[in-house]
């Protein structure tokens, strides 16, 4: 097994398979990757130690969550700040990521300062979130909201290519 930070074809196969379904047993994963079970286990441990596998999570079906829990309004927000000094950007980012409704927070360039993916129960909850997170922040200059009406694709998998 490769002990440096270089990845070989087997490592890339394992990462691809784990991105598809990380709940597989080591035996199932080894069979799918065409590796011995002990080798598969060692490689996955190494990939974790290298920090390539950040965490393992369960992905929930938004339609079922909406049906059972009533959480069903998702929006993409573009947020522009008046001042882009490092401490001002960090202050907004810290406040945004602390909110459970903020599923993703991206600092971006070439337009707004941030893009947020938010999930709330309904429009009342959206209004409360935007009041607390955006309207009450004197440094927030502009917000554009795009409400999600249909999910055409959702993936957490990164495209993997060897060098």
Does residue 152 form part of some domain?
no
pLDDT average, residue stretch 79-95: 96
* 108 part of a folded domain: yes
Residues 69 and 138 in one domain: yes
Instruction: Kindly report the CATH number assigned to the domain that includes residue 48.
Output: 1.10.10.10
Mean pLDDT on 145-159? 91
Query: Which pair of tokens denotes residue 114?
Result: 């941030």
Same domain, 67 and 29: no
Domain co-membership, 55 together with 66: no
pTM, two decimals, is 0.82
Domain-ending residue, one of 59, 76, 97:
59
| Residue 70's CATH number | 3.30.70.920
How many domains does the chain divide into? Answer: 2
Identify the DSSP state of 59. Answer: P
pLDDT given at position 69: 86
Q: What is the pLDDT of residue 163?
A: 66
Same domain for 130 and 84?
Answer: yes
Q: Are residues 39 and 70 located together in one domain of the fold?
A: no
> Domain range spanning residue 84?
62-147
CA distances from 22 to 16, 34, 59, 78 (A): 10, 16, 11, 32
The reply to whether 71 and 137 lie within a common domain is yes
* Whether residue 66 sits in one domain with residue 141: yes
* pLDDT one-digit tens code per residue, 95-151: 999 999 999 999 999 999 999 999 999 999 999 999 999 999 999 999 999 999 988
**Residue 2 pLDDT greater than 80, yes or no:** no
| Residue 126 sits in the same domain as residue 73 | yes
**136 and 87 co-located in one domain:** yes
Cα torsion angle, 119, 125, 130, 132, sign: negative
Confidence (pLDDT) at 41: 98
Asked if residue 32 belongs to a domain, the reply is yes
Instruction: Please report which helix (H) or strand (E) contains residue 117, including its range.
Output: strand 114-120
Q: Are residues 49 and 126 in the same domain?
A: no
């Amino acid at each position: 097994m490769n002990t440096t930070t270089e990845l070989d074809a087997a490592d890339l196969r394992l990462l691809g398979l784990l991105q598809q379904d990380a709940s597989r047993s080591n035996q199932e994963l080894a069979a799918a990757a065409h590796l011995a079970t002990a080798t598969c286990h060692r490689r996955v441990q190494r990939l974790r130690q290298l920090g390539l596998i950040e965490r393992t999570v369960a992905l929930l079906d938004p339609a079922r969550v909406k049906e059972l829990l009533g959480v069903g309004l998702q929006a993409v927000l573009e947020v522009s700040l008046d001042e882009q000094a490092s401490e001002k950007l960090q202050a907004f980012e810290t406040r945004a990521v602390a909110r459970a409704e903020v599923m993703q927070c991206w600092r971006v360039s070439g337009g707004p300062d941030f893009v947020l993916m938010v999930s709330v129960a309904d429009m009342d909850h959206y209004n409360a979130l935007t009041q607390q997170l955006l309207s009450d922040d004197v440094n927030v200059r502009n917000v554009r909201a795009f409400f999600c009406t249909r999910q055409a694709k959702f993936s957490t998998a990164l495209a993997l290519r060897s060098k």
